[in-house]
Amino acid sequence: MGGYENGDSPAAAAWEGGVILGVDGGTTSTVCVCLPAAMPPPEAPGSVAVLSRAIAGCSNRNSVGENAALETLEQVMMQALTMANTDRSAVVAVCLSVSGVNHPSDQQRMLDWICNLFPRNAKFYVENDAVAALASGTMGKLHGCVLIAGTGSIAYGVTEDGKVARAAGAGPVLGDWGGYGIAAQALTAVIKSHDGRGPQTNLTRDIIRKLEISSPDELIGWAYADPSWARIAALVPVVVSAAEDGDKVANTILHDAVQELAESVVAVVRRLTLCGEDGKDQFPLVLVGGVLEGNKKWDISGEVIKCISKVFPGVCPIRPEVEPAIGAALLASSHLRKESKLQNGS
Amino acid sequence: MGGYENGDSPAAAAWEGGVILGVDGGTTSTVCVCLPAAMPPPEAPGSVAVLSRAIAGCSNRNSVGENAALETLEQVMMQALTMANTDRSAVVAVCLSVSGVNHPSDQQRMLDWICNLFPRNAKFYVENDAVAALASGTMGKLHGCVLIAGTGSIAYGVTEDGKVARAAGAGPVLGDWGGYGIAAQALTAVIKSHDGRGPQTNLTRDIIRKLEISSPDELIGWAYADPSWARIAALVPVVVSAAEDGDKVANTILHDAVQELAESVVAVVRRLTLCGEDGKDQFPLVLVGGVLEGNKKWDISGEVIKCISKVFPGVCPIRPEVEPAIGAALLASSHLRKESKLQNGS
């Protein structure tokens, strides 16, 4: 975690009228929520008081460049403040949880930038997007593991004493098994069935229909016409539906994905000993992302949990009821309370 | 095969002084050779009389665009003619074997273009690059199967009566197992070992040393810094060398690659019944590409042949002694003789 302090910690009393900003910055969109700084720790998702919510475009620096990313972040934060009838002088803490921020040097550059936007004594936290996703499930407490399976996949864990570990999250060339991985396997199965290397599968009929092409030969042109991973990952519902209808090839692909996703969680939990020395302690597992959502007959997240619980029976699955931007804000709030207690106690 | 005739077939006597051009157009470079049209069918690779050989840059239309590709092709052919002390009026036949030409519509556009460059009665053949590779092993006879494993992989077969079939050749997203596939598996194994999902492997030490990076964490940045498949495929020698030194993970990757490459050949041979009805007839298998070359202890092509011969014992492996451009020229020469015989006989 990259934390940064402009000056002395504000006294808890000074939080009256102050606000906290939580930002979830992604490649598709950026969301900023504004929460009252003086709120008590929320008991339940419904009890979070959100003053305002603003939305903007991409803030992944790897995608649009650093200047454009910072401009988007500033704009969405200022908009949230205006919508909450306040301004930058009221800001007590900000948590930026932004995709594409992985290295400590990335964190430091964002901290150096953000501390010039807000009051001297405000607190700033810069995290990668997995951290806000975890906090969105644990209501701001940084403990446990989060599994995100959207276009890519990542397992990310944090211990009570702040040790972190991750597995996967390296993109499809390096073995991620999110939506892109699942869909690429399905496309490969269609090609193999077509050229005689693989068994027949209904995926051929279903994918051809979905893409409105006339033959598997046209898949090659389709696949390389656009390098966007999300475009390929959008075929996951076709795979799930074929598996639900009993297609063997589609079922094998989903079972492989379940295995890979479960292994990434098991690796993180093992490295952090999140399950205690005897491997039986309870630990929260937050599940996020399109591949793990939905009320489908073929329940990918249910199967992943089954798989993990064979190794670590103490796994406690959580499906977040608040969005990652709120997770980021709760995280800032939780850090703030902890630091204030430390200061008051010292 | 896409053949095109400008006018009547030339009488065999008219071939005296005439030349044949064979072009191998790839993404890295384009080679054109000029051969005498009146030569007899060559008995052995050493007996091919090459008048000249010219080389130019990329002629893959998908890579540089159609106009630039055609310009490169015209330039390399004119250069070969000049080097052979002749000119376009002497051209009796041309075989263009160009990567990126897959659909009949691609072939037709190239035929429409090339017939305006040369005499009215010349013959033109446009093929994809697998066909010239096959011909380079069979000395111009179109019969058998070719397996190319470079950056990607493809198996391509032709029967005596002109039926064709292919397997793989769909690029890495769609399951090719050439050098890119092998190297991507090795990189994935390093990431998995690093984050606790996979066993330890010497590939970690070897790849880090080769790429001059300091930790597997830096692999992610390296892998996505440049989308070139060839750059990733260039790591194959590291994988082969780790396997030769007994690394289990590297050995598994190479055995998987062998299996996948063999399956692509088996699929083509089965679909074309190249091995006869009883599956025991002999058929030529031409082996081409960086992954199948070299005199290594870990003999990928040897293992592929072993694997295929368990299914089809009649497989006769051939490693071409001439380059694909000569294969293309021999193909044009062989077509020309066949057509001339048909005309003389009718």
Position A131 scores a pLDDT of 92
For residues B247 and B221, membership in a common domain is answered with yes
- Residue A58 DSSP SS3: coil
Under the banding of pLDDT at 50, 70 and 90, the label for residue B41 is confident
Cβ–Cβ gap A224/B168 under 8 Å: no
| B81 pLDDT higher than 60 | yes
| A343 pLDDT higher than 80 | no
Conformation bin of residue B293: beta by default, left when phi > 0, alpha when psi is -120 to 50? beta
Position B1 scores a pLDDT of 46
> Looking at chain A, which residue has its C-alpha nearest residue B216?
A170
> Looking at chain B, which residue has its C-alpha nearest residue A100?
B221
Cβ–Cβ gap A264/B220 under 8 Å: no
Reference B34, options B17, B16, B51; nearest CA is B51
Cα angle for residues B255, B256, B259 (degrees, 5° grid): 90
**Distance (Å) from the C-alpha of residue A218 to the closest C-alpha of chain B?**
10
Token output for A188 = 């490969």
**Above pLDDT 70, what percent of chain A?**
94
* Beta strand residue intervals within B99-158, DSSP E: 123-127, 144-149, 153-158
Q: Which of A170, A223, A267 is closest, CB to CB, to B174?
A: A223
Which residues of chain A make contact with B267, given a CB cutoff of 8 A?
A: 195-197
Position A74 scores a pLDDT of 97
Query: Number of folded domains in chain A?
Result: 2
| A306 pLDDT higher than 70 | yes
Position B144 scores a pLDDT of 97
Q: Which of A166, A175, A192 is closest, CB to CB, to B175?
A: A192
Query: Could you say which DSSP state residue A96 is in?
Result: E
Torsion on CA atoms A111, A112, A118, A119, rounded to nearest 10: 100
Under the banding of pLDDT at 50, 70 and 90, the label for residue B104 is confident
CB contact set of B296 (below 8 Å; sequence gap of 6+): B240, B244
Cα angle for residues B84, B89, B93 (degrees, 5° grid): 80
Q: What is the pLDDT of residues B126-138, one digit of tens each?
A: 998 899 999 999 9
Strands A164-168 and B2-5: unpaired
Cβ–Cβ gap B223/A175 under 8 Å: no
Q: What is the pLDDT of residues B243-291, one digit of tens each?
A: 999 999 999 999 999 999 999 999 999 999 999 988 889 999 999 999 9
A61 contacts A26 by C-beta, under 8 angstroms: no
* Bigger pLDDT: A56 vs B65: A56
Cβ–Cβ gap A196/B223 under 8 Å: no
Position A296 scores a pLDDT of 79
Q: What is the pLDDT of residues A320-330, one digit of tens each?
A: 999 999 999 99
For residues A236 and A285, membership in a common domain is answered with yes
Average pLDDT score over chain A = 90
For residues B70 and B164, membership in a common domain is answered with no
Q: DSSP H helical segments within chain A, as ranges?
A: 61-64, 66-83, 104-114, 129-138, 179-195, 202-211, 217-224, 229-233, 236-244, 248-272, 300-311, 324-345
Position A163 scores a pLDDT of 94
HSE-up of residue B320 (Cα within 13 Å, Cβ side): 30
Q: What is the pLDDT of residues B202-246, one digit of tens each?
A: 999 999 999 999 999 889 888 888 777 888 999 999 999 999 999
Measured distance CA(B205)–CA(B88) in Å, rounded = 55
Q: What is the pLDDT of residues A51-78, one digit of tens each?
A: 999 999 988 877 788 899 999 999 999 9
Measured distance CA(A19)–CA(A42) in Å, rounded = 15
Which residues of chain A make contact with B271, given a CB cutoff of 8 A?
A: 196
- Which structural domain, as residue segments, surrounds residue A112? 2-139+322-345
CB contact set of B203 (below 8 Å; sequence gap of 6+): B186, B189, B190, B193, B238, B239, B242, B247, B249, B250
Position B14 scores a pLDDT of 59
For residues B162 and B244, membership in a common domain is answered with yes
Under the banding of pLDDT at 50, 70 and 90, the label for residue A26 is confident
Q: What is the pLDDT of residues B3-13, one digit of tens each?
A: 555 544 444 55
Q: Does B263 touch chain A (CB under 8 A)?
A: yes
A187 contacts A219 by C-beta, under 8 angstroms: yes
For residues A161 and A187, membership in a common domain is answered with yes
| A240 pLDDT higher than 70 | yes
* Bigger pLDDT: A50 vs A226: A50
| B98 pLDDT higher than 60 | yes
Tell which of A63, A195, A235 to mutate to test the B interface (max B CBs under 10 Å): A195
Q: What is the pLDDT of residues A148-173, one digit of tens each?
A: 998 889 999 999 998 999 999 888 78
Q: Does B264 touch chain A (CB under 8 A)?
A: yes
Under the banding of pLDDT at 50, 70 and 90, the label for residue B317 is very high
Tell which of B60, B102, B187, B191 to mutate to test the A interface (max A CBs under 10 Å): B191
Measured distance CA(A311)–CA(A251) in Å, rounded = 23
Position A4 scores a pLDDT of 52
| A88 pLDDT higher than 50 | yes
Which residues of chain A make contact with B167, given a CB cutoff of 8 A?
A: 195-197
Cβ–Cβ gap B264/A187 under 8 Å: no
Token output for A154 = 């990542």
Q: b/e string for A278-303 if b means 16 or more Cβ within 10 A?
A: eeeeebbbbbbbbbbeeeeebebbeb
> Looking at chain A, which residue has its C-alpha nearest residue B223?
A173
For residues A127 and A175, membership in a common domain is answered with no
Element of type H or E holding B180: helix B179-195
Q: Does B183 touch chain A (CB under 8 A)?
A: no
| A178 pLDDT higher than 60 | yes
CB atoms within 10 A of CB A92: 24
Cβ–Cβ gap B175/A191 under 8 Å: yes
β-bridge partners, A286:
A146, A318
Q: What is the pLDDT of residues A91-102, one digit of tens each?
A: 999 999 988 777
Measured distance CA(A267)–CA(A168) in Å, rounded = 10
Q: Does B268 touch chain A (CB under 8 A)?
A: yes
For residues A249 and A106, membership in a common domain is answered with no
For residues B161 and B295, membership in a common domain is answered with yes
Cα angle for residues B34, B35, B37 (degrees, 5° grid): 125
For residues A79 and A115, membership in a common domain is answered with yes
For residues A274 and A293, membership in a common domain is answered with yes
* CATH label of the domain that carries residue A266: 3.30.420.40
For residues A161 and A280, membership in a common domain is answered with yes
* Distances, alpha carbon A248 to alpha carbons A52, A255, A256, in Å: 48, 10, 12
Q: Which of A167, A171, A219 is closest, CB to CB, to B195?
A: A167
A345 contacts A39 by C-beta, under 8 angstroms: no
Position A13 scores a pLDDT of 56
Position A337 scores a pLDDT of 86
ipTM given for this complex: 0.87
* Distances, alpha carbon A113 to alpha carbons A6, A21, A24, A117, A121, in Å: 12, 16, 17, 8, 15
For residues B171 and B90, membership in a common domain is answered with no
